Amino acid sequence: MLRFLILLIFCNLLFPVSISYATEVIDKIPNNILIYHRFNDNRFPSTNTTIEQFEEQIDYLITNDYKFVTLHQLVNDPDMKDKSIAITIDDAYQSFYQFGFPVLKKYNISATLFLSTESVGSSDFLNWTQLRELLNYGIDIQNHTHTHSHMPDQTLVEIENEILLSQKIIMDNLGIKPDLFAYPYGEASSAAQGIIKKYFRAAFGQHSGAFSFNDPYYIARFPINENYGSLERIQNSATVLSFKHSSIQPNDPFMKMPQSRFVLDFKENPSSINCYFSDFQGSILGTKTILDTKLLYELDRMPVTGRLRVNCTKIDQGTFWFGYQYYLN
């Protein structure tokens, strides 16, 4: 208990107490991102979406008047006034070209494709001819490293070499210079983010949460697959709103040592905000303490090795959703 009181004092010094809560007008227009991998490939249900699901999802979004945008459009106008959805596809599997792309063409929809250059042309992946066809159609092709490496485990030199090589290969074959990036496996580190900032305007994870530019180098996207591809999932993912301000401490998504204390600050009255923590063993309960605009959580147990997900929500004429993901080695 004494240690936690010391933590409260430290956090108050680290994040000075504000005189009043934020008074900005709340944005009520949802602009969110969906992430897909494979299409109609039942070998991998955890990353696959059936063609029936995809058509049903697209039809639902069209029927409910969502504007389909690329990530470039969203990054250029993060506060766009039309409710929008950005479809993203990671890894450039052949199944996207065979099954997903025809659906997009049928409805005249574009999307953003994140490409790992080493795999291009191998049996399960798109080749350069197909990628040029997608690019000419209007698919926004962006960077996903060369080898689809696990970046938290790499050195700075290895990370930079991945970026430089993949950028060169994409330029040589497609004549474009990507300026957006997606972390392989959705897992990042502060060290990796430092390199990514040198070459890209924004970077994206694979953790659920409303689109926000509060942290432009770890932007949330809603994963869609066979098990998480119902219309209810699409509706929830499409309609959630982002907090005007959001931050979390520790803010390095690579957790080298287990951590049980977290500080979240939304620059507003936090009494109606609830946060949920989970790892591979399930939900983690904890003690919540409110200090001005901050929420301080002391978890009941240490997270286990792997992914630790944090989701914070608020209901206020809509559902607000902040998402974050740690990787614990």
Q: Decide the pairing of beta strands 112-115 and 140-143.
A: parallel
Give the Cβ contact number of residue 244 at 10 Å. 17
Q: Which of 193, 311, 312, 303 is nearest to 256 (CA)?
A: 303
Specify the pTM.
0.91
Query: Any bridge partners for residue 68, and if so which?
Result: 85
- Report the CATH number of the 2-24+244-328 domain: 2.60.40.1220
Residue 78 has a pLDDT of 87
Q: Please, are residues 113 and 86 in contact by the beta-carbon 8 Å criterion?
A: no
Q: What percent of the chain has pLDDT over 70?
A: 92
CATH 2.60.40.1220 residue window(s) in the chain: 2-24+244-328
Q: Reply yes or no on whether the pLDDT at 11 is more than 80.
A: no
Residue 118 has a pLDDT of 98
Residue 13 has a pLDDT of 39
pLDDT tens per residue, range 239-264: 999 999 999 999 999 999 999 999 99
Q: Which amino acid is present at 80?
A: M
Q: What percent of the chain has pLDDT over 90?
A: 90
Please give the Cα distance from 62 to 107 (Å, whole number).
Answer: 9
Q: Please, are residues 196 and 163 in contact by the beta-carbon 8 Å criterion?
A: yes
Please give the Cα distance from 239 to 222 (Å, whole number).
Answer: 12
Q: Reply yes or no on whether the pLDDT at 8 is more than 80.
A: no
Residue 63: Cβ-neighbour burial (10 angstroms; 0-12, 13-18, 19+): exposed
* Band of pLDDT at residue 4, cut at 50, 70 and 90: very low
CATH 3.20.20.370 residue window(s) in the chain: 31-239
Average pLDDT of the residues in 296-305: 97
pLDDT tens per residue, range 155-201: 999 999 999 999 999 999 999 999 999 999 999 999 999 999 999 99
- Render 41-104 in DSSP notation, one character per residue: -TT-TTTEE-HHHHHHHHHHHHHTTPEEE-HHHHHH-TT-SS-EEEEEEES-BHHIIIIIHHHH
Residue 205 has a pLDDT of 98
Please give the Cα distance from 61 to 181 (Å, whole number).
Answer: 25
Q: Reply yes or no on whether the pLDDT at 62 is more than 50.
A: yes
pLDDT tens per residue, range 127-162: 999 999 999 999 999 999 999 999 999 999 999 999
Q: Reply yes or no on whether the pLDDT at 27 is more than 70.
A: no
Higher model confidence: residue 77 or residue 6?
77
Residue 19 has a pLDDT of 32
Fold of 31-239: TIM Barrel (3.20.20)
Query: Any bridge partners for residue 277, and if so which?
Result: 284, 310
Q: Please, are residues 31 and 83 in contact by the beta-carbon 8 Å criterion?
A: yes
Length of the chain: 329
Encode burial over 41-55: b for 16+ CB neighbours within 10 A, e otherwise: beeeeebbbbeebbe
pLDDT tens per residue, range 198-233: 999 999 999 999 999 999 999 999 999 999 999 999
Q: Reply yes or no on whether the pLDDT at 126 is more than 60.
A: yes
* Band of pLDDT at residue 122, cut at 50, 70 and 90: very high
Q: Please, are residues 221 and 35 in contact by the beta-carbon 8 Å criterion?
A: yes
